[in-house]
Amino acid sequence: MQLNQLLVVIDPTSKDSQPSLERAAWVAKRSQSAVELLICEYNSALDGGFFFDGPAQQKARESLLNNLSIWLDKLAQPLRDDGLTVTTEVRWGKPLHSMVLQRIDELKPDLVFRDATTHSLLQRLFFNNTSWQLIRQCPVPLWLVRKGEWKAERICAALDPVHSADTEAVLDHLLVESTAHLAKTLGMQADYMHSYAPLPRTMVFDSELVAAYDQYVERSAKQHRDAFEKLMVNYPVEKANRHLLEGFPEESIPAFVQERGIDLLVMGAVSRGNLENALIGNTAERVLEAVQTDLLVIKPPRPAQ
């Protein structure tokens, strides 16, 4: 993972706190990355001519965008004073995720920062939440920043080595390599974790399977342990920093994050099925809502055109 150019999506409705900017500034100082601060604004009152005639509406919109540009420069100045290269960009349009994706395509940043929010399933499906749209569609790593204290000590990759799809196998190695690079660059301790859940005994109804349930659990544990060790064999990671967890990921991963004091959880996201426009369809959805820490979402490389 390169860290030459960072893009920070600024929330214009929050004048007091910008967690994503704070985190990006912290990363930029340690990696000497360039930073761009982006605001994408839209107000229906300034579109469509309902309250203003054409020239007055255009003037009001330009005034709004100019004020936002001045505010962005004020946010950027402390970073510039620290010797960082910081640019600003204000765009008009909607929906927000489309405007952000458009700028990503133009700027081609190595990493995008945005404040994290949690929303219910119905909101994700019907209200087109920006965070979930970016998780599905952002072509570069997306760092979702939680509010709260940032200790900046531990980073952990959540891996899934038991699969046959080439795309996912490549993604696991990308997660390990990206986590190791970030840990070295940012001065953090790296952990690598895989969580698996055997079929619960209460869901086994066949009498022969019930009798062999303990053996099944042992075989399942061995399968996941062997796959995890095979994935990590070529990486110089101490055993104390490799963790095999038994349990449903949406339960075991947040518990592990809390117990170990993980500051940044690195996860992969792969869209599956015909509902990919509505759901990611993988563990990242449930874990994002359960963990109370920063989350870095990484996608597999795009196939060559």
One DSSP character per residue, 247-294 reads S-HHHHHHHHHHHHT-SEEEEE----STTTTT---SHHHHHHHH--SE
Q: What are phi and psi of 108, to 5 degrees?
A: 55, 60
Q: List per-residue pLDDT tens for the chain, 305 residues long.
A: 899 999 999 988 887 789 999 999 999 999 999 999 999 988 776 776 555 567 777 788 888 899 999 999 999 999 999 999 999 999 998 899 999 999 999 999 999 999 987 555 444 433 347 888 888 889 999 999 988 889 999 999 999 888 655 556 789 999 999 999 999 999 999 999 999 876 655 555 556 566 676 777 788 889 899 999 999 999 999 999 999 998 888 889 999 999 999 999 999 887 554 434 433 445 667 777 788 899 999 988 776 54
The answer to whether the 1-148 and 151-305 domains have the same CATH topology is: yes
- In CATH terms, 151-305 corresponds, of 3.30.200.20, 3.40.50.12370, 3.40.50.2000, 3.40.50.920, to 3.40.50.12370
The whole-number pLDDT of residue 218 equals 82
The whole-number pLDDT of residue 201 equals 52
CATH topology of domain 1-148: Rossmann fold (3.40.50)
**CA-closest candidate to residue 224, choices 156, 158, 160:** 160
pTM of this structure: 0.87
**CA-closest candidate to residue 245, choices 260, 261, 263, 264:** 260
β-strand pairing of 142-145 with 294-298: antiparallel
Rounded Cα distance between 192 and 180, Å, is: 10
Three-class SS state of 41: strand
- Token readout for 119 is 């929303």
The whole-number pLDDT of residue 72 equals 96
Domain-wise residue ranges, the chain: 1-148, 151-305
